[in-house]
Amino acid sequence: MLTQNLGYPRIGSHRELKKACENYWAAKTGHKTVLQVGKNIRQENWLMQKNAGISIIPSNDFSFYDQVLDHSLMFGAIPKRYNEVMLKKGNTELDLYFAMARGYQKEGLDIIAMEMTKWFDTNYHYLVPEFYKNQQFKLFSTKVIDEFYESKQLGIVTKPVLIGPVSYLLLGKEKEAGFEKIDLLKNLLPVYLEVLTQLVNLGVEYVQFDEPFLALDLTEKEKKAFREAYKQIKNAFPRLKIVLATYFDSLGDNIALAASLPVSVLHIDLVRAPQQLNDVLSVLKSDVILSLGLIDGRNIWKNDFEYSLSTINTVVEKIGESRVWIAPSCSLIHSPCDLDNETNEEILTPEIKQWMAFAEQKIAEVVTLKQLANADRGTSAERKLAENIIAQQNRKTSSLIHKSEVKVRINQVTSKDAERLNSFSVRKVKQQNALNLPSYPTTTIGSFPQTAEVRSWRAKFKNGTFSTAEYNKLIADETTKAVKWQEEIGLDVLVHGEFERNDMVEYFGEQLDGFTFSKNGWVQSYGSRCVKPPIIYGDVKRYAPMTLEWTSYAQSLTPKYMKGMLTGPVTILQWSFVRNDQPRSQTCTQIALAIRDEVCDLEKAGIKIIQIDEPAIREGLPLRKAEWENYLNWAVNAFKLSASGIKDETQIHTHMCYSEFNDIIKNIADMDADVITIETSRSQMELLDVFADFEYPNEIGPGVYDIHSPRVPNRLEMIDLLKKAKAVIPSEQLWVNPDCGLKTRGWDETKKALIEMVEAAKIMRNN
């Protein structure tokens, strides 16, 4: 019985990659420094897995920004607008790569970044490949080959990881009409074969093909593409051992398809979809190894060894020990690096920590399960099993987890609690009379730049260097400056800037019972952007108002409207590590009641516009359409529960970003937010088409500039986007705002861009 890992975090245990990349972008270091940091992380990861006892170790799971972007560069799928980047003296392949990810605005060039969207139902973002009719591909970047050679020089023959050819195409977007992206398979496969030829020549034994789309609904044409792709690969390399990796859901009606493909190993996710095991076993070919994804790659709870051993034993009895591998459910890039870095018991108590495992601990769990399943029950393995059983039992009985008052309140919730007093058509008239805003009202999504100075204040406050009074004075001064500046440039609806907040989810979790936190539990969201998800371990309850003090202070500084800024219950759920001992819907309802209390308190304090951000509602959608209705029912209801209980005159906003809304537009309308703001600039307002076709009744703020890129757009660009919006959405429904919050941007670019945005709105009002 062997063990394998599908992928490991690439940010470094202390976010070394983030720091190296950001220093490079700021021209503080050269590209050789960035490359060396990447090499160091790769080698540390390989050696750690080898020393832990992993049999099959991955390579090419490292990325400087995004693995899908890596593949686009490898295949030469580089949009023509980036051609000039390489012509600039001194630019390297790394500069081209980062230009595709972040845009490029220097040396006379002004090039927008590639579109970014969520990786299935995770909070990870990938760069969307751009495809054109009859597009040709060629080997451009040899990263996968170079990294295999690098690991081999280290004495480790790794398993290169590639996104499978069908999934890569399905991840992309057709940028012109008249073809389907899957039709490009015949042009793409020769490059895969060229890459595999070089890898085989270097002595590769296993290659992992990630095909997550096998866990989604597929058309017959897409199924045919899978058969053709793997037939060609097998014919070209009959001795190559292909590991076909599926994850995030069950193979479902694709089980027969997956089982028919000529591969050596089939990996399935038994954390998200344990119910598929028997069906897979019934169709598995006699010469195919089954990789059991038993360790949760997307959450931080310890594996239940007794349960996993029972599963392993069942499979071994049916197909034999030699045809079983043990693995995490998916790549561990969705897990923090190392629980041993959590040494502050005031932040993460020993009682809760004993229930947890981060990526390095999950690697150890994989190996321990193999030892236990192989009856290699030495003192160490037996001790770990005993400790695991005790931890599982402690978690079931801990008084930290269950709160009777929370359960009582949940049981008292009725359907009426999730409804506003009147329909939007009635509320809109009341809000227009109460607020008296101009056409094309301008606002931002909430946060302003969190400079190094602001972050240092928070750090000094937490470590005791600053007193509460000193810290509050600094935050108040920064808030005052932000409010006054917004007034000066003419924004219509202001925000307080969120300088007191570390993260849009963590900030709320810190003030809610049932949440705990890590100090170094960082995971990659996109590029150098890392987040430290809160950990929901028990029943959720609000202690006291969470945002009232700073929102009220900001409102006291201005006669203009100040938005109350909250994170919605579904997003808090999705962007946290969630307890796995009760349905997620129940946890979400608990959070919704806490947010509802906050909304009511803000209204009582005179805040007339309240934004409840739900950027994660689309990403939580199950991969299989048959399961959508159940999820959308409880997710939409949770938002409505949080947003109701207030007067018609109080305007509720919500924000969503980097999502395709076509399939769930009715459900978004059912959320009944008075105003929705969405990301649209990278897609050049394409996302608005679905709102127009549906005749979305409420108000919409399509983002007019991309905040995930440092480039500053001019007002003419924004006017052009607003005209595109006006062509499909009545002007009286339109708001003007950036794509997302401005926390990660610098003040210089933020000020320039928002001034241009306000001027664009003024021009639109006069046209």
DSSP letter assigned to residue 275: G
| Contact (Cβ atoms closer than 8 angstroms) between residue 147 and residue 10 | no
Residue 61: phi and psi, rounded to 5, are -85, -10
What are the residues whose beta carbons fall under 8 Å from the beta carbon of 460, sequence distance 6 or more? Answer: 466, 471
Q: Give the CA distances from residue 22 to residues 26, 65, 70, 92, 94, in Å, rounded to whole numbers and listed in that order.
A: 6, 11, 18, 17, 13
Q: Which string of b and e fits 498-526 if b means at least 16 CB within 10 Å?
A: bbbbbbbbbbbbeebebbbbbebbbbbbb
The identity of residue 396, as a single letter, is: K
Q: What is the 3-state secondary structure (H, E, C) of 341-373?
A: HCCCCCCCCHHHHCCECCHHHHHHHHHHHHHHH
31 is annotated as an active-site residue: no
- Please give the Cα distance from 485 to 35 (Å, whole number): 40
| Token pair in block for residue 737 | 């705002």
Reduce the DSSP state of residue 520 to 3 states and report it: coil
What is the CA angle 738-123-407, rounded to 5?
105
Which residue among 125, 496, 653, 708 is the active-site one? 708
Altogether, the residues listed in the chain come to a count of: 767
CA distance 207 to 698: 50
Using the structure block, give the residue that is written with the tokens 């021209």.
27
State which amino acid sits at residue 453.
E
661 DSSP 8-state letter: -
The binding site for Zn(2+) consists of: 655, 657, 670, 679, 740
Binding residues for L-homocysteine: 445-447, 498, 613
Contact 290, 373 (CB under 8 A): no
Contact between 647 and 610 under an 8 Å Cβ cutoff? The reply is no
Q: Which residues are annotated as a binding site for 5-methyltetrahydropteroyltri-L-glutamate?
A: 15-18, 118, 123, 529-530, 575, 619
DSSP state of 701: E
Residue type, 472: N
Q: Which residues are annotated as a binding site?
A: 15-18, 118, 123, 445-447, 498, 529-530, 575, 613, 619, 655, 657, 670, 679, 740
Is the separation of the CB atoms in 540 and 512 below 8 Å? Answer: yes
Annotated binding site for L-methionine: 445-447, 498, 613
Residues with a catalytic annotation lie at 708
